Structure 1
Amino acid sequence: MNTETGKTALITGASSGIGQELAKLFAQDGYNLVLVARSDDKLDRLGEVFKSNYGTQQVTVIGKDLSTEDAAQDVYNQVKAKGITVDVLVNDAGVGLYGLFATDTDWEREKAMIHLNVLTLTQMTKLFLYDMLSRNEGKILNLASLLSIAPSPLMAVYAGTKAYVYNFTQSLINELKDTNVTITALLPNATDTDFFNKAGAENTKVTDEVQDPVMVAQAGYDALMAGKHKIVPGGFKNKSYEILSYVAPQEAVASMMRNKMEQKPDPVAEKDDSSIAWEIGIGIAVVAGIALGLAYAKSDAIDRAKYRYKAKSLADTLSDTLSSVADNVVSSVLDTYKTTKAKARELTNRAEEEVEEVEAIA
């Protein structure tokens, strides 16, 4: 489309996965590119593809291990030395590590992960954000994760780093609200990249439901360009996980995430009971949340206070129900299924009544 000819986007982690797909989108829109990753060769080849396919005018390649001390400062210095103005910063580079924190994982790898996922991202943001504010123009996209809003046993340190990224981003959004600089958090679910292989989690259950990196990148790109605060790609299912992480007890969410991160069972084994129960619980959260959300949206300013109270009450009821599911699923999944299904009907009926009440008033 070449809508942004002359502007420059800097993308870390650009050699593969979501970062590569984002770089492609910027190239298609006419941006010049600064591509940062460990592999110079991969980035050089990628740059040639962009020049050939999209007519990209300028591709600058910086081979750098961003998990090392002051890596961000070195990248910034190289960019400034070349006289490049970065209009868009994409902090995509990140790694994970799988295993029990106390006994399975290696501290040196965890330390490097914290440096890359947290320290480098923070320093890159600080350096380039200062320049953006001096021009009062710019955009930043930070790669968080759905795990940034949910505890994740077996990937505890990774989830902790992404929680930092999400909280950091949302805090900056408030600080930047009176400027023309925007910052967006991208919260994808498990995505079909080399991430799980590098993390040692290639045989976990969650890899059976990975998303297309092309879809994730497009959702993140669109949200960035629109100046949105955050985006959860993947539609209804991933929104349901987001709702669940807000309304369910954290112990229950941790239990669900532990199940998803465990090793795959025997292919002939039946679907495990906790998975069935949690899918029902997710359904409750989505139906109840969406129905009350519709009611809230249709009400006037006076009635909205009433719906905020009802939403709180519904969330408390849902939280109790999900706790019950988590406590009873192992010992009696059939009883849990029936109880939860009945509660789902009850909550759905209540939510539908709220919508009908508002529609009747309207």
Structure 2
Amino acid sequence: MSKTVRRNVLITGASSGLGEGMARLFAADGRNLALCARRGDNLESIAAELRSEYPEITVVVRQLDVNDHDAVFRVFDECDAELGGLDRIVANAGLGKGQPIGTGHFHANKQTAETNFIGLLAQCEAAMGIFLRRNAGHLVVVSSMSAMRGMKGNVTTYAASKAAAAHLAEGIRLSVADKPIAVTTLFPGYIESEMTAQAKGKQPMLTDAAQGHRAMVDAIEGEPDNACVPWWPWTPMSLLMQVSPLALLKRLS
């Protein structure tokens, strides 16, 4: 467990799913929050509930589409100023839509790739700008277990974008290895959310939302370089996926 207490936490994609779940747990632990997402009405409702339940914390809200790159920088800086300094930024916003390559759905796949990588790049640039100026902070990049290998069908572009996310996080980690700045990559398995509810592919070993959110927050608090969440069964599964021949991988995906 890290000895550093990160009091002020920004989370993107915080209006539902994993982002909302993490926000609720951080709030219960007394952390001040900056909640960012495209759906402003959802954010306001969540923020009002958290302020009522935990009156000792500050919760700020910003409607944000991470594909509006200029807005990412502006919003992160505004939240940094409003909370008196961001200690941790969780780059969680992402998109799961996609179709098999070559079936005429380029624009859907392009949107996923742009959101999950270029949108993430903007978040990382903005976050690291804040942390490098302060020489402190914790960047959390939410990747996916699908990043371990290429995936077939509707998940091909999503998996590729999440692999890119993991490599981006690792590169940043190497770049600040001599600084008091932590960079964590989370690899969630199948955790109950709006995205998994809409997914058409296989979802083996689906974890219920409460357990999944707790596993993510516990991993974040430890500030490891990488974490598969929940640890079981996804850490052993990650090792299996990395060495599996294509015939077995086809059955797993």
Q: What TM-score, normalized by structure 2, do the two folds share?
A: 0.88
Query: Cα RMSD (Å) of the superposition?
Result: 2.4
CA drift of 1:188 comes to 1.1
CA drift of 1:218 comes to 2.1
Q: For residues 203-237 of structure 1, what are the alpha-carbon distances to aligned partners after superposition, in whole Å with 9 as ceiling and x for unaligned?
A: x332x632123222222222222220111123443
In 1, the alpha carbon distance for the partners of 2:34 and 2:189 equals 26
What residue number does 1:32 align with?
Answer: 32
What residue number does 2:202 align with?
Answer: 205
- Paired residues for 1:176-255 under 5 Å: 176-198=176-198, 201-202=199-200, 204-206=201-203, 209-249=205-245, 251-255=246-250
- Paired residues for 1:23-62 under 5 Å: 23-62=23-62
- What amino acid is the match of 1:88? R
- Paired residues for 1:65-104 under 5 Å: 65-79=65-79, 82=82, 84-103=84-103
In 1, the alpha carbon distance for the partners of 2:141 and 2:113 equals 15
**Are residues 54 and 196 of structure 1, via their aligned partners in 2, closer, same or farther at CA, if it must alter by over 3 Å?**
same
Identity %, equivalent residues:
25
Q: Which has the higher strand share?
A: 2
In 2, the alpha carbon distance for the partners of 1:80 and 1:191 equals 30
In 2, the alpha carbon distance for the partners of 1:61 and 1:93 equals 15
What residue number does 2:160 align with?
Answer: 160
8 Å contact from structure 1 (residues 92, 142) kept in 2: yes
8 Å contact from structure 2 (residues 77, 130) kept in 1: no
> Aligned residues, how many?
250
Q: For residues 170-221 of structure 1, what are the alpha-carbon distances to aligned partners after superposition, in whole Å with 9 as ceiling and x for unaligned?
A: 22222222211101111111121010345xx34x332x63212322222222
CA drift of 1:79 comes to 3.0
- Segments of 5+ residues of structure 2 without an aligned counterpart are none
- State the structure with bigger RCO (CA 8 A, min sep 6), 1 or 2: 2
**Are residues 161 and 43 of structure 1, via their aligned partners in 2, closer, same or farther at CA, if it must alter by over 3 Å?**
same
**Are residues 252 and 173 of structure 1, via their aligned partners in 2, closer, same or farther at CA, if it must alter by over 3 Å?**
farther
Q: What TM-score, normalized by structure 1, do the two folds share?
A: 0.63
